[in-house]
Structure 1
Amino acid sequence: MSRQGRVRRRPPTLQDVARLAGVSTAVVSYVINDGPRGVAPATRERVLDAIETLGYRPNSSARALRRGATHLIGVLLPDIVNPFHAEFVAALDNAAAARQYSILLATTHHDPEREYSMLANLLDRGIDGLLILTYLYDRRSYTAAADRVPRVMIDESSMGRLSPLVGPDLRQGAELAASHLIGHGHTRIGFVTGALPGGSVDFRRIGWESVLGGHGLTASLVETTEWSRAGGYEGARRLLDRADPPTAIFAGSDLIAVGVLQALHERGLDCPGDIAVISFDGTTESQFSWPPLTTVRHPFEAISTAAVDTLISGDTDVEPRILPMELIVRQSCGCPPSGDGSAREGT
């Protein structure tokens, strides 16, 4: 191969586009950045044709410096393995893209040092705003660049720690679940939930206890475990080993509920015949368990839209926005399937 054949072709430049289109580089810049000056339609078309012909791609970093914005939103979350986080990320990505923004993810794994390091990394990349979908362990994380980078918390359990906040009404969602089980005639309703970081309030438990107390029922059938399938499995086994096992279980997450179902199957118990189950989150996983899980669904899309809009507005003085949750009725609670055999949905 000749030396000429080994020479790598340089990428096209702004000047190349201007030369091919027969315009100045300033006009090319106006077309790419949609301003600050207008460009005649015919000239604009020539520039766009030249960009396509040459395969020119504007340098995003340089554009960000000129415009004072990157159109990047950082998202800080524990992991992307949990279906709950994965579905939230998908909704946030859609909401951001609809507003010509992109998202950058950083996972903390509940490690304070990693949390602050990942946050600093996002800030170094010039994000225009930060969405926090996790409890913050490192106190520095609450104030890092808070004066210049707006942020929104998507976690009601940390309410009051950071403003503004957009999230689901966890208490209302738990009340929906407990009320529905009581409507099926259950009086011994267990609750399997995950442990929350220090200082966090478990609004799910508050809602569950409130409904049971309002009906004169005991709220003693509680097992606190890990937020995982294995945690749900162990928590359910402990409830089943009690002298007064429950006839229904409210699980604090879909993953916990899947573990609960596994424990029931191992004991030879029918769900919902022997023990009814309702989960929390409403991820796709809940739909494809056996039986399909009745679940309280987070309004992923509405929360994501509100969070992104709040972030872009830069208004840090807004009141917390707590959005209602929805009960998706399937078969694990004891409700019959619809006539076509598929799961029935309701509120």
Structure 2
Amino acid sequence: MTGPRRVTRQDVAREAGTSVAVVSYVVNDGPRAVAPATRQRVLDAIERTGYRPNAIAQALAGGRSGVLGLVVPDVSNPFFSALARAIEDEVFREGQVLLVGNSAESAVREARLIASFVERQVDGLLYVGVGHHSPVEAAIRAGIPVVALDRRDRFSDIASVVVDNFDGAAMATEHLIAHGHRRIAVIAGPSHLFTSVERIGGWRKALKAHGLPNDESLFFEAPFSRAGGYQAAVALFERGTADAVLVTDEMQALGVLAAAADAGVAVPSGLAVVTFDGTEQSMFSVPPLTTVGQPLAEIARHAVALTRPTSTEERRHIVCDTELLRRRSCGCTTHHRENHQVSTQMAVGGDTRGPLSKEDHTMTKKVGRIAGASLAVAALALSACGASANDDPNADATITFVTPHKGVFDEAVAAFHEEHPNIDVEVQIIPFAEIAAQTQARLGSKDTSIDVIAVDPPRLPSLAAQGFLKDVSADAPAMKESLTAGGISSVTWDGKQYGYPLWTSDNFLFYNKALLAKAGIAEPGPDNASRWTWDQTLAAATKAKAAGAQYGFAFEQVDAYYALQPVIMSMGGGAGLAGDGNLTPAVDTAQWRAFGDWYGKLYSSGLSPRGLASAQMPDLFKNGSVAFYVAGPARITDLQKSGLADQWGMAPLPYAAGGKVVTPTDSWAVGVSNFTEHPTAAQEFARYLSLSTDGATSASTKFNLPPVNQKAYPKYIHYIDGIAPRQTTQYGTLLTTDTDEHAVRRPSSVGYVDFETIVNKAFADIRNGGDPAQILATAQDALARQLSQYK
């Protein structure tokens, strides 16, 4: 049985005695005029027939669908439900419709939802991404305005609306301190997310400002879920290290309350709790949760406004204020609000403007300041507020050193303290994958809780340009006396030094002696003259796999530009960045595409392991699963202490037949924060690690990377010889040859962080089976848009 037939315009035309075209002119109010009497006849016919115009067809005819799309990572999370409701209310007021998609924290599902919304020709796409980068390129290419919410991608110029997570977390932590708490833990979300990075930074800033501990015993990471909060709280109670906790998500906080009830811990007398989000659920928990509230109606208003047609030069990034909603979970006895107003600076084009009123927040701001004059002005302004007027070199000081290298500097810190008993150094470990994001977020908020920073040299120009690093050019003479020219060059930008270099680097071809012997493969020679080509290497790797090796070949730094740049350039490709300031992308070239085919086949053929991360690769080689393995000298001690001791060898990094030999170089440096309250102490510690023979030797022998300190270098080589004398007979000579003749530096650019992020993702997509030509073309487009902001 079928339903009633839909009334069409033909029916109306028949009833009114006019043409279908005339009915269309009346319904659409044009484009041609209709006589008043005829218009009335058509309107009467519409009423008699019950005709209803097709809204979608009308909208599409006008170039608009009247529909917005929203993608959230978990629709069951009350915060995202409340956010969707606020956006729906705003959309409804504007006479539009909202489609909501739930990505379920899945990048694959997120991509399919976004593609579906693009196919439905939505007028705008709002999304909360599940990771660093969301697949919104298709929407951008289709001309659909895109707005990121909650989890802004700092490497993208996509419009965004977020709250000031950093200051909100600092405010919440300050509130717990005001209650008298001194051991305040944090239960954070996944550390790769923008929100987590900023909230962790605000927590650290508040504790550092009050001289309170923020060590790893107080740090817990968990998924944004009730179960995640519950498990983190169980671990917190087992450690017994805290009397209060900042929880970065309300779902987590509900799990914390449940765990406290099960453990017999009273809230707030046994554990004070403050959380984030401010949804209705926080009012009805037991006890009611003190929370950092987010202005959802304001967020929705800005987000919907940003989907209106706008030029790429007017993309906007809006930061909304938070407020503290004080309830009983923290120890407060009454319910009231503590408004938190943050002046938000917005810049239009290349101009820098002062704080704006809340009504002016819809003005535009470019991500990352424009290079050139305005960037220099920003750097000068920031540097002016970096030093403390009362920085007595003999006064007691505690400084914080942020680094991804756990345990590497322990001996150096102890030795430095012996020489400088008035200076205590706290080492704060941040995982390598997150240190760039955390440094950006914390220093972008002028966080004084960082004093000395581990800096990867290609990222130094961006940090220096933003005014985050102290200009240490006054130490240039001391650097020239003690350090290699290459080391000094690695920390030089715009003719000035913004850091103290620690190490240089190289990559080698490590191999498993037993697997090669089993396959009847002669071992590669250890010196430059006997360097293999890539064709030789992969042929031997294929033979080893056929003889029983699980994998023939592997890169330790999977999908990493550092490891793959030498291969690309040996194949005749460029560095990927060119032009003035290295701000012109050049990754969609024949040579890069050829490399992409080569790289993809390593994994599609099964020669290299697909689906494993860099952190898993060392154990894969050490347990005898890989025949040939590209890694750096930092791996030497680890290998000799493993079950593979004396059963491994090392040879020079291969090169492309007919191409030149290319090897990587440069490694980490340390910089002094422009916002440190102890610049003299911080700079003294940085000098010790780099310029002093003892400091440089200590860190280098601990991490196995060659120092750029010329007096420490012989000590380092002697140390390596003692660890693996048979395998490293040519190591010092080969390292010198590579450094002097073959080393190519990663491109220095204020946009390097953006570049590395995008190309690393491209490499990962190729490894996972994507088409190299298409992936590199997409990367080229993304880089062109992203790097244009610095020109």
Helix, strand or coil: the match of 1:241?
A: helix
Match of 1:299 in 2: 295
Match of 1:182 in 2: 177
Aligned counterpart for 2:318 among listed residues 317, 321, 341: 321
Match of 1:340 in 2: none
Match of 1:144 in 2: 138
Q: Are the aligned partners of 2:161 and 2:302 in contact in 1 as well (CA < 8 Å)?
A: yes
Aligned-pair CA distance for 1:303: 0.8
Match of 1:104 in 2: 99
The CA distance in 2 between the partners of 1:38 and 1:169, in whole Å, is 52
Give the TM-score of the pair, scaled to structure 2. Answer: 0.40
Aligned counterpart for 1:236 among listed residues 233, 236, 241: 233
Helix, strand or coil: the match of 1:202?
A: helix
What is the one-letter code of the residue matched to 1:323?
Answer: C
Q: Are the aligned partners of 1:195 and 1:226 in contact in 2 as well (CA < 8 Å)?
A: yes
What is the one-letter code of the residue matched to 2:250?
Answer: D
The CA distance in 2 between the partners of 1:76 and 1:42, in whole Å, is 48
Match of 2:81 in 1: 86
Establish whether residue 275 from structure 1 lines up as the match of residue 271 from structure 2.
Answer: yes
Establish whether residue 215 from structure 1 lines up as the match of residue 210 from structure 2.
Answer: yes
Larger CA deviation: 266-275 vs 281-290: 266-275
| CA deviations over 1:294-327 (Å, ceiling 9, x no partner) | 1001111101110110111334433311111111
Match of 1:3 in 2: none
Higher relative contact order (CA 8 A, sep 6+): 1
Aligned counterpart for 2:9 among listed residues 14, 19, 31: 14
Match of 1:330 in 2: 327
Aligned-pair CA distance for 1:61: 3.8
Establish whether residue 66 from structure 1 lines up as the match of residue 58 from structure 2.
Answer: no
Unaligned runs of at least 5 residues, structure 2: 340-791
Flag the 1:46–1:113 CA change in 2: closer, same or farther, 3 A.
same
Flag the 1:277–1:144 CA change in 2: closer, same or farther, 3 A.
same
Match of 1:310 in 2: 306
Flag the 1:294–1:243 CA change in 2: closer, same or farther, 3 A.
closer
Flag the 1:40–1:206 CA change in 2: closer, same or farther, 3 A.
farther
Flag the 1:43–1:155 CA change in 2: closer, same or farther, 3 A.
farther
The CA distance in 1 between the partners of 2:226 and 2:44, in whole Å, is 54
Match of 1:252 in 2: 248
Give the TM-score of the pair, scaled to structure 1. Answer: 0.87
Q: Are the aligned partners of 1:157 and 1:201 in contact in 2 as well (CA < 8 Å)?
A: no
Identity among equivalent pairs (%) = 39
Flag the 1:180–1:57 CA change in 2: closer, same or farther, 3 A.
same
Helix, strand or coil: the match of 1:161?
A: coil
Flag the 1:47–1:298 CA change in 2: closer, same or farther, 3 A.
farther
Which has more radius of gyration?
Answer: 2
The CA distance in 1 between the partners of 2:140 and 2:160, in whole Å, is 14
Larger CA deviation: 51-60 vs 32-41: 32-41
Aligned counterpart for 2:51 among listed residues 44, 47, 56: 56
Which structure 2 residues correspond to residues 111-190 of structure 1 after superposition, within 5 A?
Answer: 111-136=106-131, 141-147=135-141, 148-190=143-185
The CA distance in 1 between the partners of 2:39 and 2:325, in whole Å, is 50
Aligned-pair CA distance for 1:205: 0.5
Aligned-pair CA distance for 1:156: 4.1
What is the one-letter code of the residue matched to 1:281?
Answer: D
Match of 1:195 in 2: 190
| CA deviations over 1:37-67 (Å, ceiling 9, x no partner) | 6789998777666545433222234223321
Aligned-pair CA distance for 1:228: 0.7
Number of equivalenced pairs: 335
The CA distance in 2 between the partners of 1:344 and 1:43, in whole Å, is 63
Q: Are the aligned partners of 1:157 and 1:203 in contact in 2 as well (CA < 8 Å)?
A: no
The CA distance in 1 between the partners of 2:2 and 2:136, in whole Å, is 50
Aligned-pair CA distance for 1:248: 1.1
Q: Are the aligned partners of 1:277 and 1:293 in contact in 2 as well (CA < 8 Å)?
A: yes
Flag the 1:321–1:7 CA change in 2: closer, same or farther, 3 A.
closer
Flag the 1:263–1:101 CA change in 2: closer, same or farther, 3 A.
same
Match of 1:284 in 2: 280
What is the one-letter code of the residue matched to 1:300?
Answer: L
Q: Give the alignment's Cα RMSD to 1 decimal.
A: 2.7
Flag the 1:127–1:49 CA change in 2: closer, same or farther, 3 A.
same
Which structure 2 residues correspond to residues 40-51 of structure 1 after superposition, within 5 A?
Answer: 50-51=45-46
What is the one-letter code of the residue matched to 1:186?
Answer: H
